[in-house]
Amino acid sequence: MSTTPASLPLFDPALLRPALADALRKLDPRVQWRNPVMFVVYVGSAFTTALAVARPDRFVAAIAAWLWFTVLFANLAEALAEGRSKAQAAALRRLKQTTWAKKLEGEPPRGTPRTALHWHPLESQSLRKGDLVLVEAGDVVPADGEVIDGIASVDESAITGESAPVIRESGGDFSAVTGGTRVLSDGIVVRVGVDPGETFVDRMIAMVEQAKRRRTPNEIALSLLLVALSLVFLGVVATLLPFSLFAVQAAGGGRPVELATLVALLVCLIPTTIAGLLSAIGVAGMSRLLQAKVIATSGRAVEAAGDVDVLLLDKTGTITLGNRQASAFLPAAGVAEAELADAAQLASLADETPEGRSIVVLAKQRFQLRERELGALGAQFVPFTAQTRMSGADLPAPGGGLRPLRKGAAEAIRRHVEALGGVFPPGLQASVDEVARRGSTPLVVADGRRVLGVVELKDIVKGGIRERFAELRRMGIQTVMVTGDNRLTAAAIAAEAGVDDFLAEATPEAKLALIRTHQAAGRLVAMTGDGTNDAPALAQADVAVAMNTGTQAAKEAGNMVDLDSNPTKLIEIVETGKQLLMTRGALTTFSIANDLAKYFAIVPAAFVATYPALGALNLMQLASPSSAILSAVIFNALVIVALIPLALRGVRYRAVGAAALLRRNLAIYGLGGVLVPFVGIKLIDLALVALGLA
C-alpha cells in the first residue's frame, strides 16, 4: 500500500463535499483573523450585510452576497489543499496498528541464537527508547529502531509502496527499520530508537496535517506586503467619502458615494486573489512533495529547496549507476583480445554480481562467445573472498589436473601467479594504472601461471544526467560531486558527468567544512546522505535529504526523508521547491495586475454621480454604475475559483534563470492579469443585463 492516496480530480466529490463543509467552518472570525487581507473582506461582508438588513436594497444585498462568496471561495481553496493532505494523513493512520512486541530481558551477547533469547510480550505503545525487541519472520516491526544483531529480509511496501523486500542487518548504513514494516525471513534484534508518538509514521502524519503547518519566512514576508498594500488602499478609500460629501455640498446637488460601493471598491482593489490562494499554494507544495514519496519536516524545508544555490551529490547511485560494468578488454603483450575475453567469461559464468554478468555479456557481444554451463564443462566455481580478493573457476586441464582461471585485483593476481611460479608482466602495470586514471576499476585475469590482461570495469554515468546538470546550471545552481574516490578518478567522472566541482576522498569533516564554506558565502546548500557519517553534514545543510534505507542518525539529522531512497530525488525536490516559488510569484503578479482593470470598472461607476466627468473613464462601456460595481465584485470572487487548479497543481516548472522567469511572469501573468479582468467584467456585465439585473 502506498502512503499517498490515489490521484483524484481537483473537484472530485470525495474532496469537494468535505472541503465545502470545512470552508463554511472557516467563516469563524478566529480563523479569518489569521489572514489579515481576507479578514478585511470578511468585515466588509458583515458590514454590507448589516446595511442590507437595516435598509433593504437589492444592489446592496447582491454586493453583500458576493463578498461572502469571495471569503467562502478563498476558504474553499485552502480546504481543498488541506483535503488532499488529510487524505494522505488518513492513509498513513491506517498504517498504525496495535502490535505486540517481543521485548528482550537484558542485552544478550551478539550472535546469541534466537531460540536462546528470553523475551516477554508487550504492546508496542508501551515500548520506550532504548528497549530491545526480537522481530522474527512474519512479525511486524513494533517501532522505529536500529538492528543491533542479525540480518533479515523486510517488506517496506506499507511505507514506500515498493513491493520488493529489502535487506536490513546490523552494522553499516542499512541497519534502520521502520515501525509498521514486516520481517519476511530470518530474525533481528532491534534497539528501539523513539518513544511512543515519535515514530516515523507519527512524524509523517504530523507533517501532512494542516494544523501543524507553519507559514514559511517567504510566505510571512509576502503576507506583510499584502497587508501593507491593503492598509494603503484602506486609507485611500476612507478619504473618498469626505471628498464625495464635500463635492456634493459644493455643487449643490448630486449624490454622495454609497457605503456599500466604498466597501466593494476596497475589496476589489486590495490583493484578495493571492491572499485567498496563498495558504493553498503552500499546502499544495508540501502535498506534491509527499506524492513524490518525500517527507518534509516543515514547509520551510520545501521552500528552502526552491532557493538552493549549491547541490552536493553523492557519486555512486546518484551520478553513476553504482554497478560497475565491463567496458573493455586490454590484453597483455603476446595475448589475443579474444583469448582474454574467453578466459574472463569462463571465470565469470557463475559470478552473479553485476560486474560478473557484465563481463559475460561484453565477451558475448564483442566475440560472439556463447555462455557455457560450468557443470557441463566439469568446472568448479571459486567464489570471491575478502582474503583472496579473487574469484574464478577451476576447469579440467587437457593433460589432467586443474586449469585455474582467476580474476581480481592486480596485487591479488600478482601474488597468485607468483605462488604458482609465474611472472606478472612488467608492461601490464601501465595498463592497470591507465585504467585507474580514467576513473575505472582494473580487473586482472590469469589463466594458471599466465596473466592474460585487464578487464576495465567502468562506473557508468547515468544517461541524461549531464543534461540535468546543464538545466541546473541555467537556473544558477552549482553542482558538486562528493566521492570517496581519489582525485584522478573523481576528476575523470566529474568531467564526464558535467558537474561544476567535486570533492574527492570525502570524509565527514571535509563534507561539513565544504558546506560551511558555501554557507559563509551566502549560499543555500542541499545534500543527500544515508549513513551515520553523513549526519553532521546533513544537520548543517539547509536542505538535507536522508534516505529511508539509511541509519536513524541520518534521518534525524535531515529535514526531509526520501521513502524511495533514490539519491537523484534531490534534483526533483529542488524542482518542486522552485515550482512552489514560481507559482506564488506568478499568482502574486496576476493578482496585483488585475487590480488595474477593476479600477477602470469600479471607480468611474462609483463616483460618476458625484463627478459626472468620470464617465469618460468607462472604457468597457458597462451598462450602468450598479452593473459595473456588481460585475467587478463578482469577477473578484470567481477569479479565485478559476485559479484554484493552478494554485494546487502549480505553475509548470521551467529550468530558466531568475531574470528570464521574471520576464515570463510579467508577459503572461502580468499582461494576463490586466487583460483577463477587462474581458471577464464585460462578460459578467452583459450577463447581468440579459438577466435584467443591471
What residues act catalytically?
Answer: 314
**390 annotated among ligand-binding-site residues:** yes
Q: Which amino acid is at 95?
A: L
SS3 499: coil
DSSP code per residue over 444-493: EEEETTEEEEEEEEEEEEPTTHHHHHHHHHHTT-EEEEE-SS-HHHHHHH
Q: Please tell me the distance from the alpha carbon of residue 597 to that of residue 43, in angstroms, as a whole number.
A: 24
**530 annotated among ligand-binding-site residues:** yes
Return the axis-axis angle of helices 569-607 and 272-291, rounded to nearest 10°. Answer: 160
Q: Please tell me the distance from the alpha carbon of residue 554 to that of residue 336, in angstroms, as a whole number.
A: 50
Q: Please tell me the distance from the alpha carbon of residue 444 to that of residue 330, in angstroms, as a whole number.
A: 9
**380 annotated among ligand-binding-site residues:** no
Q: 543-547 and 525-529: which strand pairing?
A: parallel
**388 annotated among ligand-binding-site residues:** yes
Cα first-last separation, the chain: 55
Q: Which amino acid is at 193?
A: G
Q: Which of 292, 299, 283, 289 is nearest to 76 (CA)?
A: 283
Could you tell me which residues come within 8 angstroms of residue 394 by beta carbon, excluding any fewer than 6 positions away?
Answer: 379, 380, 382, 402, 403, 404, 405
Q: Please tell me the distance from the alpha carbon of residue 200 to that of residue 506, in angstroms, as a whole number.
A: 29
**386 annotated among ligand-binding-site residues:** yes
Half-sphere exposure of 687 (CA within 13 A, CB side): 11
Task: Give Cα separations from 606 to 57, 243, 683 (angstroms).
Answer: 17, 13, 19
Q: How many helices (H) and strands (E) does the chain have?
A: 24, 20
**57 annotated among ligand-binding-site residues:** no
**534 annotated among ligand-binding-site residues:** yes
- What are the helix (H) ranges across 292-353? 299-306, 337-348
**385 annotated among ligand-binding-site residues:** yes
C-alpha cell of residue 66: 458576493
**129 annotated among ligand-binding-site residues:** no
Cβ proximity of 476 and 495 under 8 Å: no
Q: Which amino acid is at 180?
A: G
**351 annotated among ligand-binding-site residues:** yes
Cβ proximity of 374 and 350 under 8 Å: yes
| Residue 57 φ then ψ, to 5° | -155, 130
Kindly list the strands in the beta sheet with 560-562, ordered across the sheet, starting from the edge strand earlier in the chain.
294-296, 560-562, 543-547, 525-529, 310-314, 478-482, 501-503
**387 annotated among ligand-binding-site residues:** yes
Binding-site residues for Mg(2+) sit at 530, 534
Binding-site residues for ATP sit at 351, 355, 384-391, 407
Binding-site residues sit at 351, 355, 384-391, 407, 530, 534
